């Protein structure tokens, strides 16, 4: 999806790294209907480009995101005027569709880094917990705010956050909806780095993405897939899965390329993944 076709995102490319910018600064990048439609489309398109090896998601303006734009979802409220059973069925499908926007981040064969500044609240937390890594500027703050509007978060936070930080801490944040700082988030283990300014944080995120992009994309894809599998399965299942994965995917070309580059004290160059169907 090119930037000129997107209503919500600006997409910038630097070799193997893609920078996805939420570009609705006048509304604090509140997630309109365009966000939920375009994000899975964009991730799917990028996954089809064999030359993309890492992505960074950031927000333009004062805030990363103010969460879901409730004003754009009047049709959801009107569902409850319908017959209760059918309304509930339709509502479930709406929620599953919203969830898939963030599931698309996990399906991508490359890592996705969220670069957070200012507010990251509500669905913003759902977004960053679906990413592989998270960096923040010192002014960033977070909140699982759904409790303040009388609902349980339903597009990923309650499922992913307890796998990233202590479950009791995740529960406290979800039950209270209180704001917590970037330093707190780093202490919880949610954020891996806090930077003095937004500019320094973005520079660090893009440098991290570039570092990852220089590694074997086949190995990176294997790491991402196996980290997700290990999160959702037992240790024994995870060990069995990685044995099967490497039994099928491990090839001498990348190993020799990496070893020879290290011996020569040079940067290794790895072949891209293939497009689906090639």
Range 218-255 burial, b when 16+ CB lie within 10 A, else e? bbbbbbbbbeeeeeeeeeeebeeebeebeeeeeeeebe
For residue 278, pLDDT over 90 is answered with no
Question: Residue 210 is inside which H or E element, if any?
Answer: helix 198-213
Strand order in the sheet with 112-116: 9-14, 17-22, 54-59, 112-116, 133-137, 193-195
Please give the domain boundaries of the chain with CATH numbers for all domains: 3-213 (3.90.226.10), 217-263 (1.10.12.10)
Per-residue pLDDT tens digits for 145-159: 999 999 999 999 999
In the prediction, which pLDDT does 276 show?
62
In the prediction, which pLDDT does 263 show?
82
* Predicted confidence band of residue 261 (pLDDT cuts 50, 70, 90): confident
Query: Residue 187 is encoded by which pair of tokens?
Result: 């202490």
């Amino acid at each position: 999806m090119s930037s000129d076709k997107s209503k919500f995102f600006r997409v910038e490319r630097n070799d193997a790294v893609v920078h996805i910018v939420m570009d609705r600064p006048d509304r604090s990048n509140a997630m309109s209907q365009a966000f939920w439609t375009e994000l899975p489309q964009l991730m799917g398109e990028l996954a089809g480009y064999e030359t993309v090896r890492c992505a960074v998601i950031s927000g333009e303006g004062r805030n990363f995101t103010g969460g879901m734009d409730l004003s754009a979802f009047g049709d959801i409220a009107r569902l409850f005027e319908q017959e209760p059973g059918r309304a509930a069925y339709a509502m479930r499908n709406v929620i599953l569709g919203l969830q898939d926007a963030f599931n698309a981040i996990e399906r991508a064969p490359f890592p996705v880094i969220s670069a957070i500044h200012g507010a990251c609240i509500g669905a913003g937390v759902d977004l960053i917990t679906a990413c592989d890594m998270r960096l923040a500027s010192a002014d960033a703050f977070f909140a699982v705010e759904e409790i303040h509007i009388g609902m349980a978060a339903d597009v990923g936070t309650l499922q992913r956050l307890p796998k990233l930080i202590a479950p009791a801490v995740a529960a406290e944040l979800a039950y209270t909806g209180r704001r917590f700082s970037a330093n707190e988030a780093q202490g919880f283990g949610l954020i891996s780095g806090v930077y003095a300014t937004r500019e320094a944080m973005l520079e660090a995120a893009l440098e991290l993405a570039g570092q990852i992009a220089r590694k074997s994309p086949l190995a990176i894809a294997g790491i991402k897939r196996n980290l997700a599998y290990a999160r959702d399965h037992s240790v024994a299942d995870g060990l069995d899965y990685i044995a099967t994965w490497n039994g099928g995917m491990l090839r001498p070309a990348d190993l020799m390329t990496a070893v020879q580059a290290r011996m020569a004290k040079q940067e290794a160059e790895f072949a891209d993944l293939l497009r689906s169907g090639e």
